[in-house]
Amino acid sequence: MDSNQGKPKYYILMEDLKEAIRSGKIKPGDKLLSENQLTVKYGVSRHTVRKALSMLQNDGYIVVEHGRGSFCADTVFTRGSSKNIAVITTYISNYIFPLLIKGIDNVLTEQGYSIILKNTKNSRAIEMACLEDVLKKNVDGVIIEPSKSQIYSRHLEIYKKFDECNIPCVFIHGTYPQFKDKPSIVMDDEKGMYLITKYLIDLGHKNLVGIFKTDDNQGFRRHIGFVKALNECGIMYNPEMVIWYHTEDKLLKPRAEMIEMIRNGVRFDAVVCYNDQLAHIMINTLREIGLSVPRDVSVTGFDNSYSTEIGVLGVTTVEHPKERLGAMAAELLLERINGVSEENSRVPRVIEPQLIIKDSCIAR
């Protein structure tokens, strides 16, 4: 049976031209046949040709220049095994990311792939530019950590182009709200923060300050775990004991809010931090004010990064298997490249958290 049976002529023409672009028969910058030539070649009306070209233009496959004709867009990917994988993370050179990238690289290198590495600095605008640049290159797949993943993405059309070009994407650390069904590798952030909060409560802490990042999935899920542990242990949740901050505020707001709490006489015996970097900042802030950690205040982090060792003090935290997470993301992407259906990889693959007890907490 003809797969085109029942389809409009303009749609058949559009699909035929799109396949020629995707396969590389028509390359970026190439001029397409004129409307008259397409009319003759496909035996259709001029109206049909114009409608097909309009659809290709709207989807970003061609650029129409008045008086010159239609050209294949520079950003269109041409299908073919390039052995290149784009890896886009929020950061590259610090915190957990070198080991994360190492895990990705170990798996991909073994399979003969090369990495095109980019970072967004957790900026949506930079992420959009990175994705547009990747679309100009010949890549077989993308591993991406979304920037500010708790906020709705405004550049869905770019991700749609990856789907149209059969370039699989795997998300790490979370997905945008619109992409919850996309293949992803995540930590169980909710359970991790539940474990660490429950640990503090079991030590006798009753007045806990929580500090969370508001613009990514991790902050949102970790806050849920914090609240769940409080509720289960009969401690009333007090929103005034929670400090929220955005990426741009991370070096200023948590510190300033903590100092303000102390000046206002707010009583607390523990600080639960979004991550280890923030725990580092809080411990130094408390020390500057004259409070001792853990004698006066217990402090916890999350991620078990290099910064959990602050002087002689080890910070109680949650393990983040950085290399393993990176390796799992690479393995999932290779499954997609090798034909495992998206239906079989839609449910997020979740890494179970593990509590790492060190010196920054004591019983009350």
Residue 13: which of 66, 67, 70, 68 has the closest Cα?
70
Q: What is the pLDDT along the chain (364 residues), one digit of tens a residue?
A: 355 667 889 999 998 998 888 777 898 889 999 999 999 999 999 999 999 999 888 877 899 998 899 999 876 655 557 899 999 999 987 778 899 999 999 999 999 999 999 999 999 999 999 999 998 888 999 999 999 999 998 888 889 888 878 899 999 999 999 888 889 999 999 999 999 999 999 999 999 999 999 999 999 999 999 999 999 999 999 999 999 999 999 999 999 999 999 999 999 999 999 999 999 999 999 999 999 999 999 999 999 986 555 566 899 999 999 999 999 999 999 999 887 665 666 678 999 999 999 999 999 9
What is the predicted pLDDT for the residue at 309? 58
Q: pTM, whole model, 2 decimals? A: 0.78
Contacts for 125-134: CB closer than 8 Å, 24+ residues apart: 127/88, 127/155, 128/155, 128/158, 130/88, 131/88, 131/155, 131/158, 131/159, 131/162, 132/75, 132/158, 134/86, 134/88
Task: Answer yes or no: same fold for 9-72 and 189-320.
Answer: no
| Contact indicator for 294, 361 with CB cutoff of 8 Å | yes
What is the predicted pLDDT for the residue at 4? 61
What is the predicted pLDDT for the residue at 80? 56
Q: Which fold has domain 189-320?
A: Rossmann fold (3.40.50)
What is the predicted pLDDT for the residue at 346? 62
What is the predicted pLDDT for the residue at 1? 38
Q: Which fold has domain 84-186+323-351?
A: Rossmann fold (3.40.50)
Architecture of domain 9-72: Orthogonal Bundle (1.10)
Structural domain boundaries in the chain: 9-72, 84-186+323-351, 189-320
